[in-house]
Amino acid sequence: MKMKILFAGDASNLHNTLAHQLRQMGHEAMVVSDGSRWMRTGCDIRLERKPGRWGAMKYVADILCHLPRMRGYDVVQLAGSIFFSLRPERLRYLFDYLRRHNGRVVYSALGTDVTYYDACHDGHTYRYSDYRLGDKPSPYVGSDEYRAQEQDNWRQPFMRRYHNHLLDHIDGATTALWEYDAAYRTIGFKPLAYIGIPIDTDALHFRPLEHEPERVRFFLGLQSDRTVIKGTDRLLEALRRVHDRYPTLCEMDVVERLPYDEYVTRMSRAHVILDQIYSYTPATNALLGMAQGLIAVSGAEPEYYDFIGERDNRPIVNIDPTAEGDIDAKLEQIIRQKAQLPEWGRHSREFVEKHNAAPVVAQRYVDFLQSLA
């Protein structure tokens, strides 16, 4: 059965990639988003909120102008609870409008929301998280970045009322990472389906290494407003230390806030991509690199591999954020084992093709939607 699907919002190109694949499968899909902010990813209707009062007014006016095009869909897929850049009380009216004028509404758990925030603080769902390292707060908590992003709002009554309203009126939820799936299972939410992050492997050129490189090229992309929460501040510090110790055996390429296409091109020149350290699962950044044959330094805990049923090919270099010196040790290990990079890179590509290629993820998504009928 062919479906007409509206994607409201996006994050790191997830919905745009999924929509592109769904169209190839014969479905109709439209993406309304801000292009993942500075990433400038694709969308069909671009809604960007500019700073200041007039920027906010123009943003609301743009949404109202495009509302007629957001009616009559079989499925509306929301990019998390803050799917557009509006306050919860305004988003609730918009959600109710989409609910009334379309078929099923499905929630995409692809970032922080109330449910994930609670799971990070309950003391048993995760061994560590963005917010906690064991029984202690993570470096993110109490940082300027934490305050600037108003993270305390996730526990405020107004946010919880809004989030509960969404969960009470959606028809199901999909999860992009093991972490989000685990969070929603703590509250017993159903129907729920893990689909993963779709990667357009056809558009990403696989560049297998033929020989051991003389120098290992490390790549690290920074987001100025998300360095502490992702742990890229610690990755950068460790990379600099390792580079100082092995200046003739490694190189470092550090970039910040590049548009998506330019970012992927720059990444392709490296051998190793450094992603994040507080995750259990490789996310978009790591998977984009792996699809091109890079080795990913990211999160890849046994819980994740077991969850996806992968027992043989486990190519991601997992970082333990609770272990002192673990980042340095893992980077040094890559340098010492650089002769294995060609084979390692092939395993990375194979992993993405098996678990995250856009056709694989899109089929999981379609199967879930059809199960709701």
Asked if residue 208 has pLDDT above 90, the reply is no
Asked if residue 326 has pLDDT above 70, the reply is yes
212: its two tokens:
């051991």
pLDDT, tens only, 238-251: 999 999 999 999 99
The confidence score (pLDDT) of residue 321 equals 92
The confidence score (pLDDT) of residue 224 equals 76
Asked if residue 97 has pLDDT above 90, the reply is yes
Asked if residue 329 has pLDDT above 80, the reply is yes
SS3 for the chain is: CCCEEEEECCCCCHHHHHHHHHHHCCCEEEEEECCCHHHCCCCCEECCCCCHHHHHHHHHHHHHHHHHHHCCCCEEEEECCCCCCCCHHHHHHHHHHHHHCCCEEEEEECCCCHHHHHHHHCCCCCCECCCEECCEECCCCCCHHHHHCCHHHHHCHHHHHHHHHHHHHCCEEEECCHHHHHHHHHCCCCCEEECCCCECCCCCCCCCCCCCCCCEEEEEEECCCCHHHHCHHHHHHHHHHHHHHCCCCEEEEEEECCCHHHHHHHHCCCCEEECCCCCCCCCHHHHHHHHCCCEEEECCCHHHHHHHCCCCCCCCEECCCCCCCHHHHHHHHHHHCHHHHHHHHHHHHHHHHHHCEHHHHHHHHHHHHHHHC
The answer to whether 16 and 42 have CB atoms below 8 angstroms apart is: yes
Rounded to whole angstroms, the Cα distance separating 166 from 8 reads 14
pLDDT, tens only, 209-225: 889 999 999 999 988 77
Amino acid (1-letter code) at residue 3 = M
CB atoms within 10 A of CB 201: 21
The confidence score (pLDDT) of residue 38 equals 64
The confidence score (pLDDT) of residue 246 equals 96
pLDDT, tens only, 198-207: 999 999 989 8
The confidence score (pLDDT) of residue 110 equals 95
CATH architecture of 216-355: 3-Layer(aba) Sandwich (3.40)
Which range among 64-78, 152-166, 251-265 shows the weakest confidence by mean pLDDT?
251-265
CA atoms within 13 A on the CB side of 283: 20
The confidence score (pLDDT) of residue 148 equals 86
pLDDT, tens only, 130-152: 999 998 999 999 898 988 888 98
**Alpha-carbon distances, residue 68 vs 30, 71, 103, 106, 323 (angstroms):** 13, 6, 15, 20, 53
Which residues of the chain does CATH 3.40.50.2000 include? 4-198+357-372, 216-355
The confidence score (pLDDT) of residue 119 equals 97
Asked if residue 268 has pLDDT above 90, the reply is yes
331 alpha-carbon distance from chain centroid = 23
Asked if residue 327 has pLDDT above 90, the reply is yes
Angle (CA) 368 191 13, round 5°: 55
The confidence score (pLDDT) of residue 261 equals 86
Average pLDDT, rounded, for the chain: 94
Portion of the chain with pLDDT greater than 90, in percent: 84
The confidence score (pLDDT) of residue 215 equals 96
Phi/psi at 343 (5° precision): -70, -40
Asked if residue 319 has pLDDT above 80, the reply is yes
The confidence score (pLDDT) of residue 222 equals 87
Average pLDDT of span 94-115 = 97
Short-list 178, 157, 9, CA closest to 80: 9
Amino acid (1-letter code) at residue 213 = P
46: its two tokens:
């671009």
CATH architecture of 4-198+357-372: 3-Layer(aba) Sandwich (3.40)
pLDDT, tens only, 15-72: 999 999 999 999 999 999 988 776 778 889 999 888 888 988 999 999 999 999 999 9
Rounded to whole angstroms, the Cα distance separating 70 from 98 reads 7
